[in-house]
Structure 1
Amino acid sequence: MILPLQVRSCLPSAIRSLILQKKLSIRNTSGMAGNPGLLPASVVVLHRSLAPAFERFCQANSVPLPLLGRSKPGKWTSPALGGDSGTRTGCLQFWKYEFGACTGSLTSLDEYSEQLKDMVAFFLGCSFSLEKALKEVGLPGRGSADYGHDVGAYKTAVPCTSIAGFCCPLVVTMRPIPKDKLERLVQASASIGGEHGQPIHIGAPDLLGIEDISRPDYGEAAVCQPEDIPVFWPSQLTSLEAVSCCKALLAFTSAPGCTVMTDLKNTKAPASCLTPEGIPEVHHISQDPLHYSIASASAVQKIRELETLIAMDPGIRGIGHLLCRDELLRASLSLSHARSVLVTTGFPTHFTHEPPEETDGPPGALALAAFLQALGKEVSLIVDQRAWGLHGKLVEEAVEQGVLKARIPVLTYRGGSEEAAQAFLCKGGDPKSPRFDHLVAIERAGRAADGNYYNARKMNIKHLVDPIDDLFLAARKIPGISSTGVGDGGNELGMGKVKEAVKKHIRNGAVIACDIEADFAVIAGVSNWGGYALACALYILNSCEVHRRYLRKAIGAPRAPGEQNWTRALPSVAKEEQMLGILARHRVRSGVTGRVGMEVDGLPFHGVHAEMIQKLLDVTTGRM
């Protein structure tokens, strides 16, 4: 039974008094969470010796554990409760813990009065009401407290920030949301609940370490319909796991759903007050496993500006016909979630020269690698075996010149079977244990439908190219590995996603079109520009608090982008000039003219490429 309407309208102190006098025959107070002006709180009672550490633990994990106040040892007053001192019995039900194990439930703590003299009560807010947001977008509260159910909550594999003996996993609640209402619901919940209203994960439960969504650790499971997307929010039930993990001699918590009504008021701003920096947008980035990401409207707009910039067609190749909206955005969101990235490049178009490589590709690949390094991700480069020595020198000199912070592994692959590709991509060949989360090809020769590799002039260069395409093919069958292809002509690895447009609109397209598809196809006037744009997009995303909060699952304190020195890792005119100088010293040539020097695809660095880099930086850092 849920609180009747006439009781819900009572003052918090009156509700506490009714509970104290045993005049309410109810099961829980969850239904009060959505009432205007009422902020419910859960209670944690610990020995005074543990209180300082628990307070710091709550401050370090403030989203799932918003601390409203604490009492002094032996006292039960708090600013959250005014002068009320009936909390020992003013909660419907308590759970008792001994050495970390829950050993029973109580309706009153009066029998422990002596022990409570040395104990401190903490009051944790649970002010966000998803029910209000659900109603705002026209959704019923399936499995909600308004319908007489305790919402299902799950222990995850996401560790909270540890303090002293408090070390536990994050607990989350899940609601199934119809796909067509997803973004509206996320925006409504953010406007109502602020940072507490924003979800920490949208998609497959196993990405959070939840093995069976039908078996919650607390409450009752909500049933997903065919078009529903599982959406997860941080839960203050995390406090129960914290109490259990600290293994205190004696501790108490309010039972799930049995909150105390506080005297505090909800002062969240209405939706119309959200700025573009705070409005979340939801974007689908993976189908297997199902995964959505979030970024602010302002961050998304900046990345779209980058996509427009790099779509300039200085070679008049007709690449405008290949463009797909938001491929740069989705690729960068996917990369932002990745832990380990494999980058490949190399287009041996000059088959009569040594080396046959061109200047388009390696600068973009290393610019992206530099920013991935700055984000703390593992990054490796994979190239043709015959070009392994060249790229090893390029990496070494890039480190010496400050283009890269540290050396990255340079790998090769010459396997010729699906099993060999899977063995390369996965630990022990096990598809459940991929070594890489994301593969990126930047101006990498791509296999055509006839099995050959062609430059723009229809010349077959298969004898110079190793079958790295097989890794991209294998990745499409391995859950958890996404891929991006960056190209400027349609014959590059990954451009299979737009091959029909290549055949129709690109010169020699019927012959040269790459047949191998990537999840995301980033089209650029020069492929290096795509690499620069991906690095810039990652900067924008990781400077966006909405996205950073989603990445860290609302755990830990937010850190300002300036603390990371990410700006230094961005592409720059000076660094890319150094990179082209390194390529020139190794006799790597321009793709169109075959000249050695400060040139890419027949276009001079100064006046064309340098100008593009500066435009990308201006959008990225807000100097436009």
Structure 2
Amino acid sequence: MLTAAGVARRRSIAFLRSITTSAIDLGYQQAKVVVLPSFLANDFQAFCSRNPAALPLLYRSQPGETSWLPLAGNVDIRTYISQYCVFENGRLRNTVPSLKGFKGLGACWPDMVCFYLGSSFGFEGQLREAGVPVRNVEQGKNGMYKTAVPCVPVGVFHCPLVVTMRPVPAGMVTTAAKISHLNPQAHGAPIHIGDPALLGIRDLSKPDYGYPVECHADDVPVFWACGVTAIEAICNSKPPLAFSHSPGSMFLTDIPDSPLPTSQLSPLCFLVSQDPLLYSMASQRAVGNIRQLEKVIGEDPGTRCICWFYPQVIAASRLFLWVRVRVRTLLRSCLALSHSTSVAITTGFPTHYMHSPPDETDGPPGALAMATMLLALSKQVTMVTDRRALQMNQDLVEEAVRTGVLKTTIPLVTFEDNGPDSALHFLCHEGDLRKPRFDHLVAIERTGRAADGNYYNMRGANIKHLVDPIDDLFIAATDIPGITTIGIGDGGNELGMGKIKEKVKTLMPNGSLVACDVAADYAITAGVSNWGGYAVACGLYLLFTCPSHQRYLRRGTEQATSPGLLDDLVACLPSEEAVLSSLVRLGVRSGKTGNLAMEVDGLTFHPTHSDLISRLLGLTLDSGPTGLP
């Protein structure tokens, strides 16, 4: 039985049929409609299930059914929508104001099945209430774009994902994501925020459906999956006869527009790249856990971070430095790496220039921890090393494979300065800026070039003769769109720490001499650099088990994961002992003491490193239920 409000709403239908319902907010959900022959119904339902962001299924009718009371009572789907599209063999033949009386439909209607799909128009009123401008409503336009993102195919149904774009002020992106997340039946949270080219959209001024919405100066393009994807699926599957709503002409339901309560799974948005513009997304719970990891690795039990040899009286200054410079870059680094495809990792600090090999035990274990997790997540990983250390690192990788630390070997390469374009040709195929080989460069405990062009250990000794100019790759990457750089260090003289060089120069001994001059996009600081690598590996695991982040990575599709993948990832979490044992056998020494022993930076593996790793694993594995993808 309809309420008085429902009766009043029904009386307005004659008006609603004449305009697009994207501009209407009556407090009820809207739905898109697809009508298919019954022999395709099961496959289409499965197609919706595998692509839930684009095709949130509200209801599947019985064959020949014209209405369903909980969705909208006392209506006939054949006449209720303002305009219908008619498809024959996948081609749009006509648009009609009613399906009743459509030639031949009467005979075949008993075999037709209706699918009602949620619409993003359903949360626009809530955006306005939260103060988020809804530009498409303000401008009376709505544009929809075919992307280069394929939907997960089922049976005959396959097509590219279609999206809508709403410009959102940069400071309100998280608000928009939280509000839409609470309404999964209206497409839920965005599936991409940033550069449209990352979706394969060449020109926002030329939508495939509708009319373009103009962005204001401070707006960010925010993309939601769109139910027009269903029209693309019809065109590709070529059913003999099918119908849909006309874009913008919705089915108005009796379901109130009431969002779910907020939770720790609500998403937060973070800018991770300026060129190309890219935001990422993760739940409040995952973000909190990664921030806890960052607190742990910022501890300094050996009082050797940056000022390890300085008198105790300056401890407060050292603490001030690290509190000020650890600006939650671990989280953004993990988010950026989670979006990566091909990562180059470099390490190696030849501080013991009087020994052979001159390298220290800090760096390689953290590098392998990151590489192991990235490989398990199907990323391509390459190690970049000095020529003098190539054989040592090959031996280390081979032993890591033999002992099971690595499941597969990692390519090892060197870089030489053979001219002004050497770095460009190393980073890009044929030196073409549009064809980078890597999308991320990561340096961990890698000696970094100082302002005078030399390389210094913490004592101020110049070790340039032992170092290849890998810094040039980080410098060149600043001019190559699509490459993000990350530096991990504990002393300020490591590659990438140029990001914080002014603080290093001011607050650390010999800072003006030894501070690295080469900046990374993100500088992760830790009590011991290895710990930063372990935290990155743990952070990547937390993001893999974060539904909000995985949904965003997958553009709202439900990709099948390999059986046992989660167990494989758990096995890839940090375990320093085996790698440290290998380094000692190869003659690699502790950084602070020069001891050939199971220690890093003067701290023995038991109990210091083993306890810290246990704490990181505890925060990672005991983070509570996540709703794994």
Go from structure 1 to structure 2 and tell me whether the alpha carbon gap of 1:193 and 1:251 turns closer, same or farther (over 3 Å shift): closer
Contact 1:374 1:569 (8 Å CA) reproduced: no
Q: Given residue 128 of structure 2, which amino acid in structure 1 is its aligned partner?
A: K
- 1:168-183 counterparts in 2 under 5 A? 168-183=159-174
Matching residue within 58, 63, 70 for 1:73: 63
Structure 2 Cα separation of the partners of residues 539 and 432 of structure 1? 30
- 1:482-497 counterparts in 2 under 5 A? 482-497=484-499
Deviations 1:203-236 (A, max 9, x none): 1111111111111112221111111111111111
Counterpart for residue 478 of structure 1: 480
Structure 2 Cα separation of the partners of residues 96 and 25 of structure 1? 17
Q: Given residue 326 of structure 1, which amino acid in structure 2 is its aligned partner?
A: R
Matching residue within 260, 268, 272 for 1:285: 272
Go from structure 1 to structure 2 and tell me whether the alpha carbon gap of 1:563 and 1:463 turns closer, same or farther (over 3 Å shift): closer
Q: Given residue 48 of structure 2, which amino acid in structure 1 is its aligned partner?
A: C
Deviations 1:493-547 (A, max 9, x none): 1011011111111221111111111000001111111100111111112211111
- 1:117-196 counterparts in 2 under 5 A? 117-126=110-119, 129-144=122-137, 147=138, 149-192=140-183, 196=187
Counterpart for residue 291 of structure 2: 304
Structure 2 Cα separation of the partners of residues 83 and 499 of structure 1? 67
Structure 1 Cα separation of the partners of residues 512 and 455 of structure 2? 13
Counterpart for residue 411 of structure 2: 409
Counterpart for residue 586 of structure 1: 586
Counterpart for residue 4 of structure 1: none
Look up the SS of the partner of 1:608 in the other structure: helix
Structure 2 Cα separation of the partners of residues 58 and 521 of structure 1? 42
Q: Given residue 178 of structure 1, which amino acid in structure 2 is its aligned partner?
A: P
Counterpart for residue 26 of structure 1: 18
Displacement of 1:474 in angstroms is 1.2
Contact 2:305 2:491 (8 Å CA) reproduced: no
Structure 1 Cα separation of the partners of residues 424 and 68 of structure 2? 59
Displacement of 1:567 in angstroms is 4.7
Matched, 1:317 2:310: no
Matched, 1:213 2:204: yes
Counterpart for residue 190 of structure 2: 199
Displacement of 1:191 in angstroms is 3.4
Counterpart for residue 386 of structure 2: 384
Displacement of 1:557 in angstroms is 5.8
Structure 1 Cα separation of the partners of residues 175 and 619 of structure 2? 28
Matched, 1:103 2:93: yes
Look up the SS of the partner of 1:129 in the other structure: helix
Look up the SS of the partner of 2:615 in the other structure: helix
Structure 2 Cα separation of the partners of residues 441 and 592 of structure 1? 20
Look up the SS of the partner of 2:117 in the other structure: strand
Matched, 1:357 2:364: no
Instruction: Please identify, of 148-157 and 332-341, the stretch whose mean Cα deviation from structure 2 is larger.
Output: 148-157
Structure 1 Cα separation of the partners of residues 115 and 83 of structure 2? 16
- 1:454-473 counterparts in 2 under 5 A? 454-473=456-475
Counterpart for residue 613 of structure 2: 613
Displacement of 1:566 in angstroms is 4.9
Structure 1 Cα separation of the partners of residues 441 and 238 of structure 2? 44
Displacement of 1:102 in angstroms is 1.9
Structure 2 Cα separation of the partners of residues 514 and 396 of structure 1? 31
Matched, 1:523 2:510: no
Counterpart for residue 452 of structure 2: 450
Look up the SS of the partner of 2:59 in the other structure: strand
Go from structure 1 to structure 2 and tell me whether the alpha carbon gap of 1:486 and 1:18 turns closer, same or farther (over 3 Å shift): closer
Deviations 1:577-600 (A, max 9, x none): 111111111111111221111011
Structure 2 Cα separation of the partners of residues 294 and 472 of structure 1? 26
Q: Given residue 141 of structure 1, which amino acid in structure 2 is its aligned partner?
A: V
Contact 1:279 1:297 (8 Å CA) reproduced: yes
Q: Which sections of structure 2, spanning at least 5 residues, go unmatched? A: 308-317, 625-629
Displacement of 1:131 in angstroms is 1.9
Structure 1 Cα separation of the partners of residues 75 and 288 of structure 2? 52
CA RMSD in angstroms, aligned pairs only: 2.5
Matched, 1:62 2:62: no
Deviations 1:416-440 (A, max 9, x none): 4452212221223221122211110
The alignment's TM-score, normalised by the length of structure 1, stands at 0.91
Look up the SS of the partner of 1:104 in the other structure: strand
Go from structure 1 to structure 2 and tell me whether the alpha carbon gap of 1:290 and 1:531 turns closer, same or farther (over 3 Å shift): same
Counterpart for residue 603 of structure 1: 603
Q: Given residue 119 of structure 2, which amino acid in structure 1 is its aligned partner?
A: C
Displacement of 1:570 in angstroms is 4.0
Structure 2 Cα separation of the partners of residues 31 and 406 of structure 1? 55
Displacement of 1:182 in angstroms is 2.4
Counterpart for residue 295 of structure 1: 282
Counterpart for residue 274 of structure 1: 262
Structure 2 Cα separation of the partners of residues 417 and 283 of structure 1? 38
Structure 2 Cα separation of the partners of residues 264 and 490 of structure 1? 58
Counterpart for residue 426 of structure 1: 428
Q: Given residue 181 of structure 2, which amino acid in structure 1 is its aligned partner?
A: A
Go from structure 1 to structure 2 and tell me whether the alpha carbon gap of 1:558 and 1:177 turns closer, same or farther (over 3 Å shift): farther
Q: Which sections of structure 1, spanning at least 5 residues, go unmatched? A: 1-6
Displacement of 1:14 in angstroms is 6.6
Look up the SS of the partner of 2:193 in the other structure: strand
Deviations 1:46-83 (A, max 9, x none): 22222221111011112210122223334434465566
The alignment's TM-score, normalised by the length of structure 2, stands at 0.91
Displacement of 1:317 in angstroms is 3.0
Matching residue within 256, 265, 271 for 2:247: 256
Structure 2 Cα separation of the partners of residues 23 and 603 of structure 1? 76
Counterpart for residue 537 of structure 1: 539
Instruction: Please identify, of 109-118 and 394-403, the stretch whose mean Cα deviation from structure 2 is larger.
Output: 109-118
Q: Given residue 593 of structure 2, which amino acid in structure 1 is its aligned partner?
A: T
Deviations 1:134-186 (A, max 9, x none): 21222342222xx5724211111111111112111111111111122222232
Displacement of 1:560 in angstroms is 11
Contact 1:149 1:220 (8 Å CA) reproduced: no
Contact 1:155 1:170 (8 Å CA) reproduced: yes
Look up the SS of the partner of 2:202 in the other structure: coil
Deviations 1:372-426 (A, max 9, x none): 1121111111101121111111111111112112111111111344522122212
Matched, 1:235 2:226: yes
Structure 2 Cα separation of the partners of residues 195 and 218 of structure 1? 19
Structure 1 Cα separation of the partners of residues 469 and 589 of structure 2? 23
Contact 1:68 1:80 (8 Å CA) reproduced: no
